[in-house]
Every structure is written in C-alpha cells, then in structure tokens.
Amino acid sequence: MLKQVQEKDYIHLVKLYKSFFRIHNIFSGNKNVILKYLKEQAQKNELIVFEEKSSISGALYLVNFGQNDDGSHKLWKFRHFAFDSNNIALKMLNEAEKRVKRASKTSKIELTIAENEVGIEFYKNNGYRIEGQLTHHYRYGETCYILAKGFKR
C-alpha cells in the first residue's frame, strides 16, 4: 500500500535503492551518505513510498522543477523510481500521475533513465515516449534516455 514515509523507513529505502540501482553514482556508495541524501531529498520533494508485507518495496521522488507564470502548466520529474515488481511500479506511477494532474491544468513528467536500468519498457507501455538521448550523461560510454508524458485536465 502507498504510505507516508516514517523515519524508520529510510534504512529500508537505502536497501531498496542499493538493490535496484546496482550501478549508480549515489546508490553504489556508503549507506550513511545515501541515508543522508534520501532524507535531504525528502525535505525538498514529494516522496511516494509503497509498503508490502511490512517491507518497503517501491519509492520515487516527485520533483516539481518549473511552471509557467500563472501556474497553469507545471513540469515534473521522477527521480530515483525504484520498485520490486511492475505491479508495484504501476500503483506508484498511477499515484504520481494523479498528484501531477491535480496540481495544474496541464503538466509534463520527464525522467532520465540509463540504458542499463530496469524500466524503459515499463514506461513506454504506460504512455511515456523517448524524447531524446544523452551520451556520457551518468557515466562515460553509457546512453541515457529522456522519457516524457504530458497531461491535460
């Protein structure tokens, strides 16, 4: 079920992120550094967490990074979307999209995903389109894709 993150959940988030992002500039590092980073991100951005059988099995940060002058169009980004199954991912995706749609008349969600990360097909199957690619973005020799989806209320 979707839940509000609790202090005790952060250590479980570290485990989720370390297992989901096996190659990552942040999550391949020290657990204490990751823990501090996750808490800092939660103070700045919405954190959506999914718990199943008393275990954190999905999480994502929903980041509002821009809007037009009157706030009728907002730009959002998924950051660090990790999940144990596509079923959990879909529940979290639906919740994030619902929050985005409520926030303004029109909106767009963008995400960047490295070619070796899980999820590109999941996003494409749920209406996200590749809008571009970046070479050497996260790591040298690796391609990163920009996926996006627009919404209108």
Task: Residue 39: give its domain's CATH number.
Answer: 3.40.630.30
For residue 24, what pLDDT band results from cuts at 50, 70 and 90? Answer: confident
Is residue 72 helix, strand or coil?
coil
**What is the domain range of residue 122?**
2-152
- Which residue matches tokens 């749609």? 101
Q: What is the pLDDT of residues 63-117, one digit of tens each?
A: 999 999 999 999 999 999 999 999 999 999 999 999 999 999 999 999 999 998 8
CB 109 within 8 A of CB 152: no
Tell me the pLDDT band of 23, cut-offs 50, 70 and 90: confident
pTM of the model: 0.92
The number of domains in the chain is 1
Cα separations (Å) of 117 from 9, 55, 121? 24, 22, 10
